[in-house]
Amino acid sequence: MTQNPSEKRFLEALDNAVDLFSDHAKNVYSKVIAISHNDADGISSLQLIQNLLHKINIEYDYFIYNRSSSWTNYLNGILPKVQNNKTAFIFTDVGSTLSELIPIINKRKEHFFILDHHEVDVNINTQKLPDNLIFVNPTTYGYDGLEHIAGACLTYMFSKRIKASITKQGWLTIIGIAGDSLKSMDKLQSFNREIYQEILNEQLIEENEGLALFGGMHENIKDGLKHSILPYIKGCGGEPDIKIKSTLDELGINPTKKLIDLEKSEIESISNQLKIPIGTYALLPQKQGLLRFVFEHALLLNILSFKNISAALSIIQQKSITRYAKTIYNEYIAELVKNLRLLSQDLPRYETEKAVFIDAGNGKITPSSWSDTASFSTVNNLLPPNKMVFLGGLEKKTQMIKLSIRCSREYLQNNKMGVNEIINRIKEELGGTGGGHKLAGGLRLSKPSFNILREKVDHII
């Protein structure tokens, strides 16, 4: 689906949605219900929509969807009993599970605008869409939702066409892009790149070049090296202070110097010594401390979204971070770098030609951290990139084996089946429950099935 994106057809669909919304916003709609995803991209998208509705004087309500319940159950509590075309729905970044949504929308009178960048679960060309569904999803025109266009980027393009002054809130878009793409800003592509440049030209964000130690850009160089999660720095990440200090001492660099205050020569010597890329990072000039750093701000929202969604919704509007949020952030990073260190050094692993199994069970890594540890181990290439990663172990409460399954983009270039297809294949042969997308997913299996999987994995995948 990612070959030769059709920009013309995508922008036509976007403009149609914009025209329909604009017309009805003037004469018909009196209220909009916005529903967005519980992560940095979703929260930034929601803020953009709220700003838009405020500017055009439409009353609104909002809800956050964490994709853990079915749409039917979730919307049961939200859809008004009395149907009325004066209400419209805007869904941003919440996924394109049209097989579930179409039957619901078919029975309603309201307009449903779905602005999303996740893969669609039905064939859009053979499926008849309800007349009251306005569906804009760039993946159906050949774009890659992860690489080319974040949910907030799409939401920004929609909002700006309705109200040009939304540009002022463009910095929100950059948080969404950073949160979903987890990349240095010089690596952005397509619409993400285009909109980033636009917001930069408007001077709503600033850009710097330097050591790219994402996760710890707001810290001093010692803590930056220790807490960087993108890239994870082997020999520094999660290591004792004294070890990192001695590395910096050898280079003649003051370990307590702020990362962003390093001189060019210092940046170069660290970059050469520790093989750290020099990259571009974005700053929010109106914010302070950790929140000034777009990547760290986005990461904080991603972390808070799971722990305390109202704290996440509040912090995106704040200038400086609360003590509570800072504590949660620091605990998260400390735990993640500890796990990545463990994974690259000590954890028992079992490798076959096509797969690597990491046993994180029995307290080696807390089960709630398995998923993030697996994700960051693949993006950091801590495990062989040409192998499918199965990280997990025995889950005490269910007595099942719970696995986080990941692969790299490099893996996908050489192998046909992505993670979701492999999960389906395993479920067919061995039972179990789970699902995911092409790069990441999760699976629960009985112990006997897991043992068979370990033995026959190369055959199955």
Residue nearest to Mn ion (CB): 41
Compute the least distance from the CB of residue 151 to Mn ion, in Å: 4
Minimum distance from residue 93 beta carbon to Mn ion (Å): 4
Backbone φ, ψ for residue 144 (5° rounding): -95, 115
Report residue 432 CA to chain centroid gap: 26
Task: Residue 217: count other Cβ atoms within 10 Å of its Cβ.
Answer: 24
Cβ distance to Mn ion smaller for residue 306 or 395: 306
**Which CB atom, from 120 or from 461, has the smaller least distance to Mn ion?**
120
Whichever of 5 and 130 has its CB closer to Mn ion, that residue is 5
Name the 3-class secondary structure at 395: strand
To Mn ion, the closest distance from the beta carbon of 438 in angstroms equals 15
The residues pairing with 133 across neighbouring beta strands, listed in sequence order, are 112
The residue from 5, 29, 36, 41 that contacts Mn ion (CB under 5 A) is 41
> Which of 93, 223, 266, 372 lies at the binding interface for Mn ion (CB under 5 A)?
93
Does 95 interact with Mn ion (rule: CB under 5 A)?
Answer: no
Contact mark string toward Mn ion, 141..170, x via CB under 5 A: ----------x-------------------
Please say which residue, 371 or 449, places its beta carbon nearer to Mn ion: 371
Distance (Å, rounded) from C-alpha 116 to C-alpha 37?
10
Give the HSE-up count for residue 363: Cα atoms under 13 Å, Cβ half-sphere: 0
Beta partners for residue 435, in sequence order: 442
Q: Which is nearer to Mn ion, 36 or 378 (CB)?
A: 36
- First vs last C-alpha separation in the chain: 22
Q: Is-contact 218 296, C-beta < 8 A?
A: yes
**CA-CA distance, 308 to 393, in Å (whole number)?**
27
Name the residue type at position 112: F
The rounded radius of gyration (Å) of the Cα atoms in the chain is: 23
Whole-number Å distance between alpha carbons of 76 and 283: 41
Residue 21: strand, helix, or coil = helix
C-beta of 431: minimal distance to Mn ion in Å?
31
| Closest CB 133 distance from Mn ion, rounded Å | 20
Give the closest residue to 378 by CA, choosing from 189, 230, 161, 255.
Answer: 230
C-alpha to C-alpha distance for 447 and 212, rounded to whole angstroms: 42
Nearer to Mn ion among residue 41 and residue 372 (C-beta): 41
How many residues at the interface with Mn ion, by CB under 5 A?
Answer: 4
Q: Is residue 207 within 8 Å of 280, Cβ to Cβ?
A: yes
From 35-43, 65-73, 323-331, 413-421, span contacting Mn ion (CB under 5 A)? 35-43
Stretch that binds Mn ion, among 177-185, 240-248, 297-305, 386-394 (CB under 5 A): 177-185
Figure out which of the listed residues 130, 138, 153, 180 binds Mn ion, where binding follows CB under 5 A.
180
Query: Which strand (E) or helix (H) includes residue 459?
Result: helix 447-460
Nearer to Mn ion, 257 or 306 (CB): 306
CB of 67 closer than 8 Å to CB of 334: no
Applying CB under 5 A, the span of 48-56, 87-95, 107-115, 191-199 interacting with Mn ion comes to 87-95
Stretch that binds Mn ion, among 92-100, 108-116, 204-212, 261-269 (CB under 5 A): 92-100
Nearer of residues 146 and 426 to Mn ion, judged by Cβ: 146
Nearest-approach distance from CB 43 to Mn ion, in angstroms:
10
Q: Which residues contact Mn ion (rule: CB under 5 A)?
A: 41, 93, 151, 180
